[in-house]
Structure 1
Amino acid sequence: MRAEPTPDSGDRNALGEEPSAYLRQHAGNPVHWQPFGDRAFARAAARNVPVFLSIGYAACHWCHVMAHESFEDQATADYLNAHFVAVKVDREERPDVDAAYMAATQAISGEGGWPMSVFLTADGLAFHAGTYFPPRPMPGRPSFLQVLEAVHDAWEERRDAVEQNARSLAQTMGHAQLSAAVNLNELPELLDPELLPAAVRSLGRSEDPDDGGFGAAPKFPPSAVLEFLMRHAAVPSDTAGEARDMAGRTLAAMARSALFDQLDGGFARYSVTRDWSVPHFEKMLYDNAQLLRAYVHWVRLGGTPGFPAAEAADVAVRTAEWMLASLGLPAGSWGAAGPHGAAEALASSLDADSVVNGEHHEGASYLWTAGELEKLLGNDHGAAIARLMNVGEHGTVSKLGSPLHPARALSPEEAARWAGARPRLLAARAARPQPARDDKVVAGWNGLAVAALAEAGAVLDRPGLVDAAVRIAGYLEKVHWRAAKEELVRVSHAGAARGIGGLLEDYAFCGEGFLALFAVTGNAHWYGLAEAVVSAACRRFIADGSLADTAGESAQVSNALGGRPGLDPFDGATPSGAAAFAGVLLSYAALSGSSEHRTMAGNILALLPPIAAQAPRVAGWLLATAQAAAEGPVEAAVVGRPGAARDALHVALLRSPSPGLVIAVGAGGAGGGQGEDAGTAGTVPLLRGRTAGADGAPLVYLCRGMVCERPVASVQEVRDRLSSGRR
């Protein structure tokens, strides 16, 4: 007989003090939510009930919908509290938990996404799962309460079968993890030189040449793939032109679409339509950091007639400015020292929804009707802007209207008309209800932003962006890096680090950011910090010659993966931890001369051949790193007396599209240098023994594949050498 639900007085909603904005959004639910951890699972074991695991994130529209429909409903909460221990997870805070149970959800239900709804045994094994469940049955989808009742029945009446199925699934997932293992003790095999051109041709078969991007709707920005295509395009080959054209079509389509906020800058998470005309409006730091870097690299590559470098530079500047203005957390927001109003760290995201009259509306802040434009700008001007920006009589998103986007290049006259309208439209939009911001700081995503801002500042001649990168890197060092323990913490909130240690992706992205900042500033402090982070990652994530994404932060996650450490080589919204780590190892090896780290990078790249052949769209960063490895990578040591001549050589290198180019700057000569140059040669092996010219005149030493050429002294010689060295 089914037990009647009774309130469990031993539990309460425990999310009110959590650093995650997503968890705090659910602190007022009548559900007795618990954060993920041993305590919650011990409670399930003591009560002899399953765990209901709900995973989402603060900017997720459908997470808000399910929360309102089910988690705020008292009757549903009473049943859930009586028969389950309810656990909430922010996927951005715990991607290890999300990855493990996403794999289980896909295996069980054939679908994946957020909100994710997973039912677990008290030791963390999944036995039933799905995504969004409505409050009432729909065709092909039961109601949430029906699912709860069915799971409770199975748990009470068929426990042995439930637990056996959960164990079998975990074993299957463990074998899948083993198949993606990397043995770092072996000597890596050389990659087939045809692998990279073959990947370009394979990507060409899945490209949408009319609307840009790859595949059909929904369309996500293919940031890692774009990096590979641009690196490949920089090296003469039969497929270089194809790679350049594909990258240009996608970058142009996104820049001119509703995915890009035409008023304020920054990119939405994805488009629900093939032509990028209806975005899913959440704005994520990780997307914008990667896309900022992609548009900067397009500028560096030189652009194409179809998407000029100048247009890409404008998109990059507006994206960087949006990141700092809208996601920037000024020092005063938690009382730390620093210039008032200057971003010291970057928040995670802006919500997809805005709350209007107490109700969530997706994209409400961004939508316009033709009538609103005419009222604001005048009938003729407003109607012209509506036509220009594809705002018709009927809203493409909801009755609130349509997003502004031209979907094509603007003529000079149209661009001037749009530039004149933007300030008034921005002021009007600022008066609307704004989407909420998730203020948690994720180490890895801020590392991505450091690299992007530093390179944007150097390539676009925006020193303020380099200054911002320095501030954010300083925050990561001060708040997230525990030097005494040589440990990186993944999340901070209000200026204090909290929660689990960083995952492989955090160490890799932060290492990438610190190395990029060293290349731009020449300050060896950032090289030293990158070296410490790389060394710590090797100790933390490599055991018995095998690499893992995590260091076993939770026994439940390990159990769900069959007891094996997990390594996911596939890119998601960000590069995989393995791919990002391979890239950092390759760059660090070039700067340090470490053959050990070069070998480790090569072993990780050994994951590439089967993935590149079958699914290059999820191997973009491995492909980009392989392209850099194929080019050497090129090592550039700039030495000489600080001043305009050395700066010109340094900038020429920073603006070169040479794949994986590694740059170090120092004074050279026996006497060292002044200021930030002092001691650089002693810290950075690539600079050792590099002497400046007569009277400290600057020189550039270029090396490739452990072979160095004679030093050069002019910008033109640097450019010629880099060009002639490309195959």
Structure 2
Amino acid sequence: MATATSPYLLQHAENPVDWYPWGEEAFEEARRRDVPLLISIGYAACHWCHVMAHESFEDPETAALMNEQFVCVKVDREERPDVDAVYMAATQTMTGGGGWPMTVFATPEGKPFQAGTYYPPVARHGLPSFRQLLVAVGRAWGDIREDVLRAGDGLVAELEHNARVVARAEGVPGAEVLGAAVGVLLREFDAERGGFGGAPKFPPSMTVEHLLRHHARTGEPAALAMAQATCVAMARGGIYDQLGGGFARYAVDAEWVVPHFEKMLYDNALLLRVYLHLWRATGDELALRVVHETADWMLRELWLVPDGGFASSLDADTDGVEGKFYAWDAAQLVEVLGEEDGAWAASLFAVTPEGTFEHGLSVLQLLQDPDDVDRHQRVRTRLFDVRREQRTAPGRDDKAVAAWNGLAIAAFAEAGALVGRPELVHAARQTADMLERVHWDGKAKRLTRTSRDGVAGQQNPGVLEDYADVAEGLLALYAVTGETRWYRFAGELLDVVLEEFRDETGLFFDTASDSEALIFRPADPTDNATPGGTSAAAGALLTYAALTGSGRHREAAEQALRFTGALAERAPRFAGWGLAVAEALEDGPREVAIVAGEKEAEKELEKELEKEGEKEAAKASGEEAGKEPGKEPTLHQAALASTAPGLVIAVTPPPGDTGPTPELLSGRPAIDGEPTAYVCRGFVCQAPTTELSVLSSELA
């Protein structure tokens, strides 16, 4: 364990438990000793994982019992989502629920026969104590082993059957099904507090993206209203850090007040893109502020130096106390700000005498914008500085996960282009470079899921979501910069997706065909905290098909969406990204080729790019994509600003880039030397135009 690259595993290296990392050594030891495996799965930012570790895994007597009767295996779910997926399916089947920490007992072959989540050190709330559970499982293994083995075999057969049957559901959702899905969401929508359902409430980032795309395609006002109300409620609630920016994992209540304080890269990358698209559609100033603040938070707190890319998460706890870094009471505000400003801040941030959190503390909210904007900014800055200087910062899980960095690339590339911040485009480019340099084996054509300190985790092969989300990010970065390197890299990743992650029927699996054999090969088509691998693949394949004209990629995208149709009218919240991709498919997609002209200004830009070097080139290309105040946008900027859900952009490469360009650009010259746009939709193309107004109308 001491040599592990996972910060989560390293947190357990000093436990008195004889932990093994996931691998053949643990299985061999269980067979040699003829004892079951105890598989404990969690992640570094998980609060209840820390609680169970402190209560049980650090306790010498409990550890002795674990070591005596089991071979104990610790798994970081973020490093091995494939292992997590199969045992989560088992846990949910056996118990009707799931979550982390996950506790699974399995045969030496890895077949689960008992599972649950958190177990307390003493029996309470209807749960046995962890020690009681250990004793009971140990006795069952000794006294009724045949029954235990039979149960494990039956469960594995059921799980494998369910995965194949569910993922083979037919039906690419069309306009009627997409409309019905919005109708279901409207019934589940919390009109008073935003979001869907009751407590706990998770940020429905992919569902909001689906609603924004549906509104853009159909003009349906209810879709936009649900999206906007949800985004406003989250941005004003305690789930959003009102001082430092960035969103917590979820709210424990239905009002978005008290978060579960861990902050994940994937949530913030997805939400950054959602708020950007909300601002693009409506001009909402709150959404724009969240875009800037969330991007700033990601760069400040998660950026990895010197390799580039983003770390995975920030912990929920500091000094062993959940939320200690973020919560305040009125007296603390007065102490920091003085009597007058402290009382004003308590009112502004909804800090109550009884507290909204624990121990009389409150999580800061911003239920409405103050009239005195300057005072708000002064108070906010002072509280932020004091918090940073005088409180223990949450721990950071500094491994880089390929899929989540792919989501960040897409968000930063688009945000930098749309809000005129070239440094965000540059960060997206650095992240893409890190993934290609550290995570991608060009000879073997394989992507590694994780890295730490610039070293790839060789025991953690990329899963479907890694290939698909990185391809999605690269294609977004290409659309902004025109750099063919990213278009080429995305194509290589998607070739692996088609060749190694699906079978002859078009079923997409979460693991490659040559990956480690688990108790069954997972194939989960649903979306959960992040886009599922299948729907993420659908999105990237659809975009790539539009750029290349490849029928093979388009057919694969449609195959990947089969199960989305089955979910659309029953549980659309578990198909948010799939439905967003289906909206793009129904919209066309809309293919836009932007061909550069030969103006003197562009020749001057070419000289400037050659002269200034890589950093200035990155800045200049970012500025080219972003609209500058007071200047008429370019055709490229106008295309990027379109809300069309099926938008796919190909753009002339920057000077000196001689890489292969998409077929979408082939045979399309500039008209009279002017920058020219070509727009196609549903296999039908419009006449080329050099006019912004014409392009805008074609993309409306």
Verify same fold: TM over 0.5. Answer: yes
> Contact between 1:364 and 1:400, CA under 8 Å: does it hold in 2?
no
Alignment of 1:125 with 2:105, yes or no, is no
Distance 1:460 1:424, change over 3 A: same
Alignment of 1:628 with 2:584, yes or no, is yes
SS in 2 for 1:614: coil
User: Quick one: distance in 2 between partners of 1:462 and 1:419?
Assistant: 21
The amino acid across from 1:327 in the alignment is: L
The amino acid across from 1:547 in the alignment is: F
The amino acid across from 2:285 in the alignment is: A
Alignment of 1:312 with 2:287, yes or no, is yes
> Contact between 2:231 and 2:275, CA under 8 Å: does it hold in 1?
yes
Deviation at 1:190, TM superposition (A): 5.9
How does 1:342-421 map onto structure 2 within 5 Å? 344-355=308-319, 360-399=320-359, 401-406=361-366, 408-413=367-372, 415-421=373-379
1:703 matched residue in structure 2:
680
1:598 matched residue in structure 2:
554
2:74 matched residue in structure 1:
88
Deviation at 1:269, TM superposition (A): 0.1
User: Quick one: distance in 1 between partners of 2:593 and 2:394?
Assistant: 46
2:187 matched residue in structure 1:
205
Among 213, 226, 231, the alignment partner of 1:231 is: 213
2:695 matched residue in structure 1:
718
Deviation at 1:448, TM superposition (A): 0.4
SS in 2 for 1:385: helix
Among 572, 575, 587, the alignment partner of 1:616 is: 572
How does 1:73-112 map onto structure 2 within 5 Å? 73-112=59-98
Query: Scaled by the length of structure 2, what TM-score is found?
Result: 0.93
> Contact between 1:182 and 1:604, CA under 8 Å: does it hold in 2?
no
SS in 2 for 1:662: strand
SS in 2 for 1:412: coil
Query: Scaled by the length of structure 1, what TM-score is found?
Result: 0.90
User: Quick one: distance in 2 between partners of 1:316 and 1:547?
Assistant: 33
Range moving further from structure 2, 382-391 or 245-254:
382-391
1:496 matched residue in structure 2:
455
User: Quick one: distance in 1 between partners of 2:167 and 2:255?
Assistant: 38
Deviation at 1:537, TM superposition (A): 1.7
Among 481, 485, 489, the alignment partner of 1:525 is: 485
2:663 matched residue in structure 1:
685
User: Quick one: distance in 2 between partners of 1:602 and 1:176?
Assistant: 22
Deviation at 1:683, TM superposition (A): 2.5
Deviation at 1:111, TM superposition (A): 2.2
SS in 1 for 2:451: strand
> Contact between 1:37 and 1:554, CA under 8 Å: does it hold in 2?
no
How does 1:560-575 map onto structure 2 within 5 Å? 561=520, 565-575=521-531
The amino acid across from 2:244 in the alignment is: D
Alignment of 1:246 with 2:231, yes or no, is no
Alignment of 1:665 with 2:651, yes or no, is yes
Distance 1:707 1:556, change over 3 A: closer
User: Quick one: distance in 1 between partners of 2:107 and 2:172?
Assistant: 44
How does 1:298-337 map onto structure 2 within 5 Å? 298-303=278-283, 309-331=284-306
User: Quick one: distance in 1 between partners of 2:9 and 2:460?
Assistant: 16
User: Quick one: distance in 1 between partners of 2:401 and 2:517?
Assistant: 23
SS in 2 for 1:500: coil
User: Quick one: distance in 2 between partners of 1:635 and 1:555?
Assistant: 39
2:445 matched residue in structure 1:
486
User: Quick one: distance in 1 between partners of 2:259 and 2:215?
Assistant: 29
The amino acid across from 1:675 in the alignment is: G
> Contact between 1:125 and 1:556, CA under 8 Å: does it hold in 2?
no
Among 511, 515, 518, the alignment partner of 1:550 is: 511
Deviation at 1:552, TM superposition (A): 5.7
User: Quick one: distance in 1 between partners of 2:233 and 2:514?
Assistant: 41
Query: Share of identical aligned residues, percent?
Result: 48
Among 241, 264, 286, the alignment partner of 1:261 is: 241
> Contact between 2:66 and 2:72, CA under 8 Å: does it hold in 1?
yes
User: Quick one: distance in 1 between partners of 2:598 and 2:438?
Assistant: 32
SS in 2 for 1:268: coil
> Contact between 2:354 and 2:360, CA under 8 Å: does it hold in 1?
no
SS in 2 for 1:153: helix
**1:670-702 alpha-carbon deviations (Å, 9 max, x no partner):** xxx8323x45xx5211100011011x2111000
1:674 matched residue in structure 2:
655
**1:538-557 alpha-carbon deviations (Å, 9 max, x no partner):** 12212333321112676562
How does 1:63-74 map onto structure 2 within 5 Å? 63-74=49-60
The amino acid across from 2:681 in the alignment is: R
The amino acid across from 2:273 in the alignment is: R
2:631 matched residue in structure 1:
none
> Contact between 1:123 and 1:556, CA under 8 Å: does it hold in 2?
no
1:10 matched residue in structure 2:
none
User: Quick one: distance in 2 between partners of 1:347 and 1:497?
Assistant: 14
User: Quick one: distance in 1 between partners of 2:447 and 2:670?
Assistant: 37
Deviation at 1:454, TM superposition (A): 0.3
**Runs (5+) with no aligned partner, structure 1:** 1-14, 304-308, 337-343, 668-672
How many residues align? The count is 667
2:424 matched residue in structure 1:
465
User: Quick one: distance in 2 between partners of 1:189 and 1:44?
Assistant: 44
Which 4+ stretches in 1 moved above 4 angstroms?
552-556, 642-647
Distance 1:159 1:441, change over 3 A: same
Backbone CA RMSD of aligned residues: 1.6
User: Quick one: distance in 1 between partners of 2:174 and 2:397?
Assistant: 44
The amino acid across from 1:441 in the alignment is: A
**1:651-674 alpha-carbon deviations (Å, 9 max, x no partner):** 11111110020001117xxxxx83
